[in-house]
């Protein structure tokens, strides 16, 4: 490997890097909330990432992100962290591990704590991107049950936690067609997830996701992948809910590239790039869109920490559709982080 001028204020190792894979692990706990661990990774995913990096001769250390992480990092002496940790609690939980790594001066793959915090707070992210004239559905946030009212929203509206990912808090029935249903769904979400609830106007149309890999001039935007619903999931609505993702073989097909005109595909990929760069994302991310029946593109959300479960997560799926196998994708994410720090293979 060849070292070049670094871009981040971190020391550069003079040897083959030791990579710490930092993660939060599913514990399969049974409780009132069936999707409580939706964002966490299984050990099978962690092992798949390790094996992918091992295939390129990269030495790895597995580090679960619990309360003893500072001690683990001190003992591990890693050169860079491959971060897939979702955090333990709170609206800013995805910032926990990156902030600690920055404090300790350890470089890491993926976006920094600020980008992760902004992206996880859906309402905040939408407000910021609206200043860039990026179209997004009209929405409202409810902090408590007494706040739940239409407030100018046009029904139907989709209801979901404001700061969750992996379709957590999006059950099979999540669209309200009137104010009574809105109160019921929002009240349920407030009770179960204990955080603000986002209600946004439902966009009838088609669902797409776009993957991004890299930084600056080397940024690669994969062709949009369409999530094609075989049947409605909530009355007349088609929602990429937690249940649909768990049983995707029965509900959806994936088409990449999606059936788009050249102009539509170009608008979608350019908008994904604008979102990525506006939020200061790094190395990799996935952006979700709705294309309305009248052809207007709506930004739904961005995930700067997309899932990497092989054979399941959307991000490696759309990369594979574009000719990039799983092992190469994982190495490319690592290499994007190394290159950003000035270390070239």
DSSP sequence for 49-82 = HHHHHHTTT-EEEEEE-STTHHHHHHHH--SEEE
Q: Does a structural domain hold residue 332?
A: no
What is the β-pairing status of strands 284-292 and 297-303?
A: antiparallel
Packing angle of the helix pair 69-76, 96-104 (nearest 10 deg): 40
Q: Does a structural domain hold residue 185?
A: no
Unique residue bearing structure tokens 């369409």: 226
Q: Does a structural domain hold residue 65?
A: yes
The one-character DSSP state at 8 is: S
Q: Does a structural domain hold residue 50?
A: yes
Per the structure, the count of domains in the chain is 1
> What is the predicted pLDDT for the residue at 222?
98
Strand locations in the chain (E)? 2-3, 18-23, 59-64, 80-83, 139-142, 157-161, 175-176, 197-201, 205-213, 220-221, 225-229, 252-255, 284-292, 297-303, 343-344
Please give the full DSSP string across 183-242, using - where no structure is assigned. HHHHHHHHHHH-S-EEEEE---EEEEEEEEES-GGG-EEPPPEEEEESS-SBTTB----H
Q: Phi first, then psi: give them for residue 343, nearest 5 degrees.
A: -110, 115
Q: Does a structural domain hold residue 290?
A: no
Which whole-number Å values give the CA distances from 41 to 70, 181, 241, in the listed order?
A: 20, 33, 18
> What is the predicted pLDDT for the residue at 146?
80
Q: Which residues pair with 299 in a beta bridge?
A: 289
> What is the predicted pLDDT for the residue at 14?
53
Q: Is the torsion defined by CA of 29, 52, 84, 22 positive or negative?
A: positive
Token pair for residue 144?
Answer: 């408590």
Three-state DSSP at 102 gives: helix
> What is the predicted pLDDT for the residue at 12?
47
> What is the predicted pLDDT for the residue at 282?
98
pLDDT tens for each residue of the chain, 345 residues long: 333 334 444 444 456 789 999 999 877 655 566 655 566 788 999 999 999 999 999 999 999 999 999 999 999 999 999 999 998 878 888 999 999 999 999 999 999 999 999 999 999 999 999 999 999 999 999 998 888 888 889 999 999 999 887 566 677 788 999 999 999 999 999 988 888 999 999 999 999 999 999 999 999 999 999 999 886 655 677 888 767 777 777 788 999 999 999 999 999 999 999 999 999 999 999 999 999 999 999 999 999 999 999 998 999 999 999 999 999 999 999 999 999 988 755
Q: Does a structural domain hold residue 72?
A: yes
Sheet holding 80-83, edge to edge: 59-64, 18-23, 80-83
Q: Does a structural domain hold residue 43?
A: yes
Q: Which domain holds residue 71?
A: 2-109
Distance CA 77, CA 58 (A): 15
> What is the predicted pLDDT for the residue at 36?
57
Residue 125 contacts residue 278 (beta carbons within 8 Å): no
Distance CA 11, CA 8 (A): 9
**CATH classification of the domain holding 100:** 3.40.50.20
Q: Does a structural domain hold residue 294?
A: no
Distance CA 61, CA 76 (A): 7
């Amino acid at each position: 490997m060849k070292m070049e001028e670094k871009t981040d204020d971190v020391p550069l190792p003079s040897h083959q890097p030791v990579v710490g894979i930092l993660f939060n692990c599913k514990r399969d706990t049974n409780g009132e909330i069936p999707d409580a661990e939706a964002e966490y990774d299984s050990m099978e995913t962690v092992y798949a990432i390790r094996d992918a990096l091992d295939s390129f001769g990269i030495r790895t250390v597995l580090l679960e992100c619990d309360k003893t992480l500072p001690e683990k990092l001190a003992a591990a002496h890693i050169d860079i962290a491959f971060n897939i940790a979702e955090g333990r609690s709170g609206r800013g939980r995805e910032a926990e591990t990156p902030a600690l790594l920055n404090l300790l001066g350890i470089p890491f793959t993926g976006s920094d704590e600020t980008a992760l915090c902004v992206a996880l707070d859906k309402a905040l992210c939408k407000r910021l991107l609206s200043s860039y004239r990026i179209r997004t559905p009209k929405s409202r946030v409810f902090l408590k049950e007494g706040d739940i009212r239409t407030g100018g929203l046009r029904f139907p509206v989709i209801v979901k936690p404001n700061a969750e990912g992996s379709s957590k808090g999006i059950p099979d029935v999540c669209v309200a067609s009137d104010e009574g249903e809105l109160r019921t769904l929002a009240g349920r979400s407030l009770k179960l997830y204990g955080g603000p609830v986002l209600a946004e106007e439902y966009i009838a149309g088609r669902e797409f996701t776009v993957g991004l890999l890299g930084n600056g001039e080397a940024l690669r935007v994969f062709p949009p992948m369409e999530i094609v619903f075989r049947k409605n999931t909530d009355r007349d609505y088609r929602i990429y809910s937690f249940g649909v993702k768990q049983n995707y073989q029965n509900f959806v097909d994936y088409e990449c590239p999606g059936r788009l005109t050249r102009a539509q595909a170009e608008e979608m990929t350019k908008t994904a790039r604008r979102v990525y760069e506006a939020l200061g994302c790094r190395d990799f991310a996935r952006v979700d869109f709705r294309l309305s029946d009248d052809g207007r593109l709506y930004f739904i959300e961005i995930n700067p920490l997309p899932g990497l479960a092989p054979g399941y997560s959307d991000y490696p799926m759309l990369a594979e559709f574009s000719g990039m196998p799983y092992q190469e994708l994982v190495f490319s994410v690592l290499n994007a982080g190394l290159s950003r720090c000035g270390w070239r293979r």
